[in-house]
Amino acid sequence: MAAPLTKLHEAVSAIDAAWSDADELPRHALISLNAAIGSAKRVLDAMQARIAAEIAHESRPELGPDSLAKQQGFRSPAQLIAATTGVSAGDAARLVQVGEAVAPRTDLVGDPMPARYPAVQDALAAGDLAAQSAALIIAFLDRARVGVDRDLVADTERRLVERAVGLSLDDVRRLVKRAEAVLEADRLEHREEERRGQRTVAMFERDGMFHLNLVTPVEEGAPIRTAVDAYVTAQFQARKDALDAGGVDADQRTVAMMRADALSVVCAHVLGCESERMPMAGATVIVRVDAADLEAGTGAGTIDGFDQPISITAVRRMAAGAGVIPCVLDSAGDILDWGRERRFFSKTQKLALAERDGGCAMCGLPPSMTKAHHIRWWTRDRGPTDLANGVLLCETCHHRIHDNGWDIRIDGTGTKGRVWFIPPPSVDPARAPRLGGRARYDIAA
Protein backbone atom coordinates (compact mmCIF):
# COMPACT_ATOMS: atom_id res chain seq x y z
CA MET A 1 0.00 0.00 0.00
CA ALA A 2 3.07 2.25 0.40
CA ALA A 3 3.45 3.12 -3.30
CA PRO A 4 -0.18 4.25 -3.81
CA LEU A 5 0.00 6.30 -0.61
CA THR A 6 3.16 8.00 -1.86
CA LYS A 7 1.45 8.90 -5.13
CA LEU A 8 -1.61 10.14 -3.25
CA HIS A 9 0.56 12.36 -1.02
CA GLU A 10 2.26 13.76 -4.14
CA ALA A 11 -1.11 14.58 -5.70
CA VAL A 12 -2.41 16.20 -2.51
CA SER A 13 0.81 18.24 -2.23
CA ALA A 14 0.28 19.46 -5.80
CA ILE A 15 -3.29 20.47 -4.93
CA ASP A 16 -2.08 22.30 -1.84
CA ALA A 17 0.59 24.13 -3.84
CA ALA A 18 -1.86 25.26 -6.52
CA TRP A 19 -4.72 26.21 -4.24
CA SER A 20 -5.24 29.85 -3.41
CA ASP A 21 -7.30 31.65 -0.80
CA ALA A 22 -8.36 34.18 -3.42
CA ASP A 23 -12.03 34.32 -4.40
CA GLU A 24 -11.13 33.59 -8.03
CA LEU A 25 -8.42 31.15 -9.06
CA PRO A 26 -6.19 32.19 -11.99
CA ARG A 27 -6.36 30.09 -15.13
CA HIS A 28 -2.98 28.42 -14.62
CA ALA A 29 -4.11 27.34 -11.15
CA LEU A 30 -7.33 25.89 -12.56
CA ILE A 31 -5.36 23.72 -14.98
CA SER A 32 -2.87 22.60 -12.30
CA LEU A 33 -5.64 21.82 -9.83
CA ASN A 34 -7.67 19.91 -12.39
CA ALA A 35 -4.64 17.75 -13.26
CA ALA A 36 -3.72 17.17 -9.61
CA ILE A 37 -7.28 16.27 -8.61
CA GLY A 38 -7.50 13.89 -11.56
CA SER A 39 -4.25 12.23 -10.45
CA ALA A 40 -5.47 11.94 -6.87
CA LYS A 41 -8.79 10.48 -8.02
CA ARG A 42 -7.09 7.82 -10.16
CA VAL A 43 -4.86 6.79 -7.24
CA LEU A 44 -7.87 6.64 -4.92
CA ASP A 45 -9.70 4.60 -7.56
CA ALA A 46 -6.93 2.00 -7.54
CA MET A 47 -6.86 1.87 -3.75
CA GLN A 48 -10.65 1.64 -3.56
CA ALA A 49 -10.76 -1.18 -6.12
CA ARG A 50 -8.27 -3.16 -4.06
CA ILE A 51 -10.22 -2.57 -0.84
CA ALA A 52 -13.49 -3.43 -2.60
CA ALA A 53 -12.09 -6.77 -3.78
CA GLU A 54 -10.87 -7.60 -0.27
CA ILE A 55 -14.24 -6.65 1.23
CA ALA A 56 -15.88 -8.97 -1.30
CA HIS A 57 -13.45 -11.73 -0.35
CA GLU A 58 -14.27 -11.28 3.34
CA SER A 59 -17.98 -11.34 2.45
CA ARG A 60 -18.04 -14.48 0.31
CA PRO A 61 -21.18 -16.61 0.75
CA GLU A 62 -19.46 -19.59 2.36
CA LEU A 63 -18.61 -17.45 5.41
CA GLY A 64 -22.29 -17.35 6.31
CA PRO A 65 -22.90 -15.16 9.39
CA ASP A 66 -19.20 -14.30 9.51
CA SER A 67 -19.50 -12.41 6.22
CA LEU A 68 -18.10 -8.91 6.65
CA ALA A 69 -20.97 -7.31 4.72
CA LYS A 70 -23.62 -9.13 6.74
CA GLN A 71 -21.92 -8.25 10.02
CA GLN A 72 -22.14 -4.59 8.95
CA GLY A 73 -25.85 -4.98 8.19
CA PHE A 74 -25.71 -5.30 4.39
CA ARG A 75 -26.88 -8.09 2.11
CA SER A 76 -23.85 -7.88 -0.19
CA PRO A 77 -20.39 -6.31 -0.36
CA ALA A 78 -21.62 -4.06 -3.22
CA GLN A 79 -24.32 -2.58 -0.97
CA LEU A 80 -21.79 -2.00 1.81
CA ILE A 81 -19.40 -0.22 -0.54
CA ALA A 82 -22.20 1.78 -2.18
CA ALA A 83 -23.54 3.00 1.17
CA THR A 84 -20.14 4.11 2.46
CA THR A 85 -18.87 5.74 -0.76
CA GLY A 86 -22.09 7.22 -2.15
CA VAL A 87 -21.91 5.40 -5.49
CA SER A 88 -24.58 3.14 -6.97
CA ALA A 89 -24.64 -0.58 -6.23
CA GLY A 90 -23.74 -1.20 -9.88
CA ASP A 91 -20.68 1.06 -9.65
CA ALA A 92 -19.67 -0.68 -6.42
CA ALA A 93 -19.98 -4.09 -8.10
CA ARG A 94 -17.75 -2.85 -10.94
CA LEU A 95 -15.17 -1.70 -8.38
CA VAL A 96 -15.17 -5.23 -6.97
CA GLN A 97 -14.71 -6.67 -10.47
CA VAL A 98 -11.77 -4.36 -11.14
CA GLY A 99 -10.15 -5.20 -7.82
CA GLU A 100 -10.54 -8.93 -8.38
CA ALA A 101 -9.21 -8.72 -11.96
CA VAL A 102 -5.97 -7.02 -10.90
CA ALA A 103 -5.40 -8.79 -7.57
CA PRO A 104 -2.50 -11.26 -7.16
CA ARG A 105 -3.61 -14.90 -7.40
CA THR A 106 -2.43 -18.33 -6.31
CA ASP A 107 -2.75 -21.68 -8.05
CA LEU A 108 -4.25 -24.85 -6.60
CA VAL A 109 -1.09 -25.63 -4.61
CA GLY A 110 -0.71 -22.10 -3.28
CA ASP A 111 2.04 -20.85 -5.58
CA PRO A 112 1.77 -17.17 -6.60
CA MET A 113 0.34 -16.28 -10.00
CA PRO A 114 0.15 -12.92 -11.82
CA ALA A 115 -3.05 -10.91 -11.90
CA ARG A 116 -5.63 -11.86 -14.51
CA TYR A 117 -4.94 -8.57 -16.28
CA PRO A 118 -1.40 -7.43 -15.42
CA ALA A 119 -1.33 -4.48 -17.83
CA VAL A 120 -4.48 -3.02 -16.26
CA GLN A 121 -2.97 -3.71 -12.82
CA ASP A 122 0.21 -1.79 -13.66
CA ALA A 123 -1.69 1.18 -15.11
CA LEU A 124 -3.96 1.39 -12.07
CA ALA A 125 -1.04 1.14 -9.66
CA ALA A 126 0.78 3.91 -11.53
CA GLY A 127 -2.25 6.18 -11.34
CA ASP A 128 -2.50 6.31 -15.14
CA LEU A 129 -5.91 4.66 -15.52
CA ALA A 130 -9.21 5.44 -13.81
CA ALA A 131 -11.22 2.59 -12.31
CA GLN A 132 -14.18 3.26 -14.62
CA SER A 133 -11.95 2.96 -17.69
CA ALA A 134 -10.37 -0.17 -16.25
CA ALA A 135 -13.86 -1.62 -15.68
CA LEU A 136 -14.76 -1.13 -19.38
CA ILE A 137 -11.58 -2.87 -20.53
CA ILE A 138 -11.96 -5.72 -18.04
CA ALA A 139 -15.63 -6.31 -18.89
CA PHE A 140 -14.77 -6.51 -22.59
CA LEU A 141 -11.81 -8.86 -22.08
CA ASP A 142 -13.80 -11.11 -19.74
CA ARG A 143 -16.48 -11.44 -22.42
CA ALA A 144 -14.19 -11.74 -25.43
CA ARG A 145 -11.45 -14.03 -24.11
CA VAL A 146 -13.57 -17.20 -24.20
CA GLY A 147 -12.12 -19.48 -26.87
CA VAL A 148 -9.53 -16.88 -27.95
CA ASP A 149 -5.76 -17.40 -27.99
CA ARG A 150 -4.27 -16.31 -24.66
CA ASP A 151 -1.41 -14.36 -26.26
CA LEU A 152 -3.85 -12.43 -28.46
CA VAL A 153 -5.91 -11.49 -25.39
CA ALA A 154 -2.76 -10.34 -23.56
CA ASP A 155 -1.61 -8.29 -26.57
CA THR A 156 -5.05 -6.69 -26.94
CA GLU A 157 -5.09 -5.86 -23.22
CA ARG A 158 -1.71 -4.16 -23.50
CA ARG A 159 -2.74 -2.14 -26.55
CA LEU A 160 -6.01 -1.08 -24.95
CA VAL A 161 -4.28 0.11 -21.79
CA GLU A 162 -1.62 2.01 -23.74
CA ARG A 163 -4.28 3.81 -25.78
CA ALA A 164 -6.63 4.41 -22.84
CA VAL A 165 -4.16 6.48 -20.82
CA GLY A 166 -5.18 10.12 -21.11
CA LEU A 167 -8.54 9.41 -22.75
CA SER A 168 -11.96 10.27 -21.38
CA LEU A 169 -14.35 7.48 -20.41
CA ASP A 170 -16.37 8.08 -23.60
CA ASP A 171 -13.23 7.72 -25.69
CA VAL A 172 -12.22 4.54 -23.86
CA ARG A 173 -15.67 3.15 -24.64
CA ARG A 174 -15.03 3.96 -28.31
CA LEU A 175 -11.61 2.31 -28.08
CA VAL A 176 -13.11 -0.86 -26.64
CA LYS A 177 -15.65 -0.97 -29.48
CA ARG A 178 -12.78 -0.91 -31.97
CA ALA A 179 -11.20 -3.86 -30.15
CA GLU A 180 -14.29 -5.97 -30.83
CA ALA A 181 -13.14 -6.27 -34.44
CA VAL A 182 -9.92 -7.91 -33.17
CA LEU A 183 -11.23 -10.41 -30.61
CA GLU A 184 -14.86 -10.89 -31.56
CA ALA A 185 -15.03 -10.67 -35.36
CA ASP A 186 -16.44 -14.20 -35.61
CA ARG A 187 -19.28 -13.32 -33.22
CA LEU A 188 -20.37 -10.06 -34.84
CA GLU A 189 -22.76 -11.61 -37.36
CA HIS A 190 -24.63 -13.55 -34.68
CA ARG A 191 -24.99 -10.42 -32.55
CA GLU A 192 -26.16 -8.43 -35.56
CA GLU A 193 -28.93 -10.95 -36.12
CA GLU A 194 -29.94 -10.57 -32.48
CA ARG A 195 -29.95 -6.78 -32.81
CA ARG A 196 -31.98 -6.93 -36.02
CA GLY A 197 -34.59 -8.88 -34.09
CA GLN A 198 -34.75 -6.03 -31.57
CA ARG A 199 -35.20 -3.19 -34.06
CA THR A 200 -38.32 -1.15 -33.51
CA VAL A 201 -39.91 2.21 -34.11
CA ALA A 202 -42.65 3.75 -31.97
CA MET A 203 -44.83 6.57 -33.33
CA PHE A 204 -47.61 8.37 -31.50
CA GLU A 205 -49.22 11.78 -31.15
CA ARG A 206 -49.52 13.58 -27.82
CA ASP A 207 -50.28 17.20 -26.91
CA GLY A 208 -50.06 18.32 -30.51
CA MET A 209 -46.61 16.76 -31.02
CA PHE A 210 -45.60 13.74 -33.06
CA HIS A 211 -43.24 11.42 -31.15
CA LEU A 212 -40.82 9.10 -32.93
CA ASN A 213 -38.52 6.63 -31.18
CA LEU A 214 -36.30 4.52 -33.45
CA VAL A 215 -34.00 1.69 -32.37
CA THR A 216 -32.10 -0.05 -35.17
CA PRO A 217 -28.68 -1.67 -35.79
CA VAL A 218 -25.86 0.64 -36.92
CA GLU A 219 -25.89 -0.96 -40.38
CA GLU A 220 -29.41 0.35 -40.98
CA GLY A 221 -28.95 3.51 -38.95
CA ALA A 222 -25.88 4.67 -40.90
CA PRO A 223 -27.82 6.12 -43.88
CA ILE A 224 -30.22 7.88 -41.50
CA ARG A 225 -27.45 9.47 -39.46
CA THR A 226 -25.43 10.42 -42.54
CA ALA A 227 -28.39 12.16 -44.19
CA VAL A 228 -29.41 14.00 -40.99
CA ASP A 229 -25.84 15.10 -40.21
CA ALA A 230 -25.36 16.32 -43.79
CA TYR A 231 -28.55 18.41 -43.55
CA VAL A 232 -27.39 19.97 -40.25
CA THR A 233 -23.98 20.73 -41.73
CA ALA A 234 -25.61 22.39 -44.74
CA GLN A 235 -27.73 24.57 -42.44
CA PHE A 236 -24.71 25.74 -40.47
CA GLN A 237 -22.90 26.51 -43.72
CA ALA A 238 -25.88 28.60 -44.82
CA ARG A 239 -25.70 30.52 -41.54
CA LYS A 240 -21.99 31.17 -42.04
CA ASP A 241 -22.49 32.28 -45.65
CA ALA A 242 -25.18 34.75 -44.54
CA LEU A 243 -22.89 36.25 -41.90
CA ASP A 244 -19.92 36.39 -44.28
CA ALA A 245 -22.09 38.31 -46.74
CA GLY A 246 -22.89 40.89 -44.08
CA GLY A 247 -26.35 39.59 -43.39
CA VAL A 248 -28.04 38.51 -40.19
CA ASP A 249 -28.30 34.96 -38.95
CA ALA A 250 -32.06 34.56 -38.63
CA ASP A 251 -31.88 30.80 -38.08
CA GLN A 252 -32.11 30.27 -34.33
CA ARG A 253 -32.75 26.52 -34.45
CA THR A 254 -30.83 24.20 -32.16
CA VAL A 255 -29.04 21.14 -33.53
CA ALA A 256 -31.87 18.96 -32.17
CA MET A 257 -34.42 21.07 -34.05
CA MET A 258 -32.39 20.80 -37.25
CA ARG A 259 -32.26 17.02 -36.90
CA ALA A 260 -36.03 16.89 -36.54
CA ASP A 261 -36.40 19.11 -39.62
CA ALA A 262 -33.98 16.88 -41.53
CA LEU A 263 -36.18 13.82 -41.03
CA SER A 264 -39.23 15.75 -42.22
CA VAL A 265 -37.40 17.03 -45.31
CA VAL A 266 -36.07 13.58 -46.22
CA CYS A 267 -39.49 11.94 -45.86
CA ALA A 268 -41.20 14.72 -47.83
CA HIS A 269 -38.65 14.27 -50.59
CA VAL A 270 -39.31 10.51 -50.71
CA LEU A 271 -43.03 11.19 -51.03
CA GLY A 272 -42.40 13.20 -54.19
CA CYS A 273 -42.03 16.72 -52.83
CA GLU A 274 -41.45 19.25 -55.64
CA SER A 275 -39.26 21.55 -53.49
CA GLU A 276 -35.69 22.54 -54.24
CA ARG A 277 -32.82 20.10 -54.36
CA MET A 278 -32.06 18.30 -51.13
CA PRO A 279 -29.48 20.26 -49.08
CA MET A 280 -27.60 17.08 -48.17
CA ALA A 281 -27.18 15.93 -51.78
CA GLY A 282 -24.00 13.91 -52.17
CA ALA A 283 -23.89 12.67 -48.57
CA THR A 284 -22.41 9.19 -48.60
CA VAL A 285 -22.04 6.27 -46.18
CA ILE A 286 -18.50 4.89 -46.23
CA VAL A 287 -17.88 1.27 -45.17
CA ARG A 288 -14.24 0.24 -44.65
CA VAL A 289 -12.94 -3.31 -44.96
CA ASP A 290 -9.67 -5.17 -45.53
CA ALA A 291 -9.46 -6.83 -48.95
CA ALA A 292 -8.26 -10.17 -47.54
CA ASP A 293 -11.14 -10.25 -45.06
CA LEU A 294 -13.63 -9.37 -47.78
CA GLU A 295 -12.38 -12.18 -50.02
CA ALA A 296 -12.20 -14.78 -47.25
CA GLY A 297 -15.48 -13.77 -45.63
CA THR A 298 -13.82 -13.29 -42.24
CA GLY A 299 -12.91 -10.36 -40.01
CA ALA A 300 -14.97 -7.20 -39.70
CA GLY A 301 -15.57 -3.77 -41.19
CA THR A 302 -16.41 -0.31 -39.88
CA ILE A 303 -18.79 2.47 -40.88
CA ASP A 304 -17.56 6.06 -40.78
CA GLY A 305 -19.09 7.88 -37.83
CA PHE A 306 -19.93 4.71 -35.84
CA ASP A 307 -17.84 2.92 -33.22
CA GLN A 308 -19.55 -0.47 -33.50
CA PRO A 309 -17.74 -2.83 -35.96
CA ILE A 310 -19.89 -4.86 -38.36
CA SER A 311 -19.54 -8.35 -39.78
CA ILE A 312 -18.30 -9.13 -43.29
CA THR A 313 -21.83 -10.23 -44.18
CA ALA A 314 -23.14 -6.79 -43.22
CA VAL A 315 -20.32 -5.13 -45.20
CA ARG A 316 -21.27 -7.02 -48.34
CA ARG A 317 -24.95 -6.27 -47.81
CA MET A 318 -24.29 -2.54 -47.42
CA ALA A 319 -21.88 -2.37 -50.36
CA ALA A 320 -24.69 -3.44 -52.67
CA GLY A 321 -26.79 -0.40 -51.76
CA ALA A 322 -26.93 2.99 -53.42
CA GLY A 323 -25.21 5.88 -51.69
CA VAL A 324 -22.69 3.56 -50.02
CA ILE A 325 -18.98 3.58 -50.91
CA PRO A 326 -17.02 0.45 -49.93
CA CYS A 327 -13.44 1.50 -49.15
CA VAL A 328 -11.36 -1.65 -49.69
CA LEU A 329 -7.85 -1.67 -48.19
CA ASP A 330 -4.89 -4.00 -48.69
CA SER A 331 -2.87 -5.50 -45.82
CA ALA A 332 -0.67 -2.39 -45.65
CA GLY A 333 -3.68 -0.09 -45.35
CA ASP A 334 -3.47 1.35 -48.87
CA ILE A 335 -6.74 2.04 -50.69
CA LEU A 336 -7.45 -0.49 -53.45
CA ASP A 337 -10.94 0.58 -54.44
CA TRP A 338 -13.35 3.42 -53.58
CA GLY A 339 -16.27 1.55 -55.12
CA ARG A 340 -18.21 2.41 -58.26
CA GLU A 341 -19.12 5.99 -57.24
CA ARG A 342 -16.52 8.52 -58.35
CA ARG A 343 -16.39 12.06 -57.03
CA PHE A 344 -14.89 15.43 -57.94
CA PHE A 345 -11.26 15.70 -56.88
CA SER A 346 -11.96 17.64 -53.71
CA LYS A 347 -14.56 15.13 -52.56
CA THR A 348 -12.39 12.15 -53.43
CA GLN A 349 -9.60 13.78 -51.48
CA LYS A 350 -11.92 14.17 -48.50
CA LEU A 351 -12.66 10.45 -48.68
CA ALA A 352 -8.94 9.75 -48.42
CA LEU A 353 -8.62 12.20 -45.51
CA ALA A 354 -11.56 10.47 -43.83
CA GLU A 355 -9.67 7.18 -44.06
CA ARG A 356 -6.70 8.76 -42.27
CA ASP A 357 -8.51 11.08 -39.83
CA GLY A 358 -11.72 9.13 -39.18
CA GLY A 359 -13.72 12.37 -38.98
CA CYS A 360 -12.69 15.56 -37.19
CA ALA A 361 -9.08 14.76 -36.39
CA MET A 362 -9.29 16.79 -33.18
CA CYS A 363 -12.65 16.01 -31.54
CA GLY A 364 -13.85 12.93 -33.45
CA LEU A 365 -17.10 14.20 -35.02
CA PRO A 366 -18.09 12.04 -38.04
CA PRO A 367 -16.75 12.95 -41.51
CA SER A 368 -20.13 14.29 -42.63
CA MET A 369 -19.77 17.14 -40.11
CA THR A 370 -16.25 18.14 -41.17
CA LYS A 371 -14.47 19.99 -43.95
CA ALA A 372 -11.02 19.47 -45.46
CA HIS A 373 -8.77 22.35 -44.41
CA HIS A 374 -5.30 23.39 -45.53
CA ILE A 375 -2.70 23.15 -42.76
CA ARG A 376 -0.56 25.69 -44.59
CA TRP A 377 -3.10 28.16 -45.88
CA TRP A 378 -3.88 28.28 -49.58
CA THR A 379 -3.60 32.07 -49.93
CA ARG A 380 -1.30 33.20 -47.12
CA ASP A 381 1.19 30.31 -47.22
CA ARG A 382 0.56 29.12 -50.79
CA GLY A 383 -0.01 25.66 -49.31
CA PRO A 384 -0.73 22.84 -51.76
CA THR A 385 -4.00 20.93 -51.88
CA ASP A 386 -2.72 17.45 -51.07
CA LEU A 387 -3.13 14.91 -48.26
CA ALA A 388 0.08 15.93 -46.51
CA ASN A 389 -1.28 19.47 -46.20
CA GLY A 390 -4.90 18.60 -45.49
CA VAL A 391 -6.83 17.73 -42.34
CA LEU A 392 -10.49 17.10 -41.56
CA LEU A 393 -11.84 19.48 -38.91
CA CYS A 394 -15.29 20.47 -37.74
CA GLU A 395 -16.06 24.19 -37.70
CA THR A 396 -15.49 24.53 -33.96
CA CYS A 397 -12.08 22.83 -33.97
CA HIS A 398 -11.08 24.77 -37.08
CA HIS A 399 -11.61 28.04 -35.23
CA ARG A 400 -9.91 26.65 -32.13
CA ILE A 401 -6.80 25.82 -34.15
CA HIS A 402 -6.53 29.26 -35.72
CA ASP A 403 -7.73 31.39 -32.81
CA ASN A 404 -5.71 29.75 -30.04
CA GLY A 405 -2.40 29.11 -31.75
CA TRP A 406 -2.37 25.35 -32.20
CA ASP A 407 -0.11 23.78 -34.83
CA ILE A 408 -0.68 20.60 -36.83
CA ARG A 409 1.93 18.10 -37.99
CA ILE A 410 1.46 15.15 -40.34
CA ASP A 411 3.86 12.23 -39.97
CA GLY A 412 3.93 9.75 -42.83
CA THR A 413 2.30 9.92 -46.23
CA GLY A 414 -1.09 9.24 -47.74
CA THR A 415 -3.85 7.62 -45.74
CA LYS A 416 -1.31 5.96 -43.43
CA GLY A 417 -0.06 9.30 -42.09
CA ARG A 418 -0.64 10.35 -38.49
CA VAL A 419 -2.04 13.69 -37.39
CA TRP A 420 -0.46 15.42 -34.39
CA PHE A 421 -1.81 18.53 -32.70
CA ILE A 422 0.80 20.74 -31.04
CA PRO A 423 -0.64 22.97 -28.30
CA PRO A 424 0.47 26.56 -27.83
CA PRO A 425 2.87 27.38 -24.94
CA SER A 426 -0.04 28.80 -22.96
CA VAL A 427 -1.59 25.31 -22.89
CA ASP A 428 1.61 23.25 -22.60
CA PRO A 429 4.98 25.00 -22.21
CA ALA A 430 6.69 21.85 -23.52
CA ARG A 431 4.34 21.80 -26.56
CA ALA A 432 4.14 18.00 -26.44
CA PRO A 433 2.32 16.73 -29.57
CA ARG A 434 -1.07 15.05 -29.04
CA LEU A 435 -2.12 12.24 -31.36
CA GLY A 436 -5.29 12.90 -33.33
CA GLY A 437 -7.29 11.23 -36.05
CA ARG A 438 -8.20 7.58 -36.43
CA ALA A 439 -4.89 6.38 -34.93
CA ARG A 440 -5.97 7.68 -31.52
CA TYR A 441 -8.59 4.91 -31.25
CA ASP A 442 -7.01 2.23 -33.42
CA ILE A 443 -5.44 -0.39 -31.16
CA ALA A 444 -3.56 -1.81 -34.14
CA ALA A 445 -2.01 1.57 -35.05
The enclosing H or E element of 51 equals: helix 27-57
| DSSP β-ladder status, 285-290 and 324-329 | parallel
Kindly state the average pLDDT of the residues 44-61. 91
Of 32-46, 145-159, 297-311, the range with the lowest mean pLDDT is 297-311
pLDDT for res 120: 94
Q: What is the pLDDT of residues 340-366, one digit of tens each?
A: 333 333 566 777 888 888 889 998 888
In 3D space, the residue among 360, 349, 357, 373 whose CA is nearest the CA of residue 229 turns out to be: 360
pLDDT of residue 283: 61
Query: Residue 219: its pLDDT value, please?
Result: 85
Mean pLDDT of the chain: 82
Q: What percent of the chain has a predicted confidence (pLDDT) above 90?
A: 23
Nearest C-alpha neighbor of 287 from the set 260, 259, 314: 314
pLDDT class of 322 with cuts at 50, 70, 90: low
Q: Are 415 and 356 in contact (CB under 8 A)?
A: yes
Give residue 266's pLDDT.
82
Nearest alpha carbon to residue 227 among 190, 266, 256, 201: 266
- 378 vs 169, more confident: 169
Inform me whether the pLDDT recorded for 208 exceeds 90.
no
- At residue 325, the 3 state secondary structure works out as strand
Mean pLDDT of the region 38-46: 90
pLDDT number for residue 161: 94
**pLDDT tens, residue by residue, 376-429:** 876 667 777 777 788 898 888 888 887 788 899 998 877 788 999 999 988 888
Find the mean pLDDT for residues 51-74. 91
With cut-offs at 50, 70 and 90, classify the pLDDT of residue 431.
Answer: very high
* DSSP codes joined into one string, 329-387: E-TTS-EEE--S----HHHHHHHHHHHHHSSSTTT---GGG-EEEESS-TTTS---SSG
From residue 48, give the alpha-carbon distance in Å to each of 44, 51, 73, 131.
6, 5, 20, 9
For residues 329-341, give the mean pLDDT.
50
pTM: 0.70
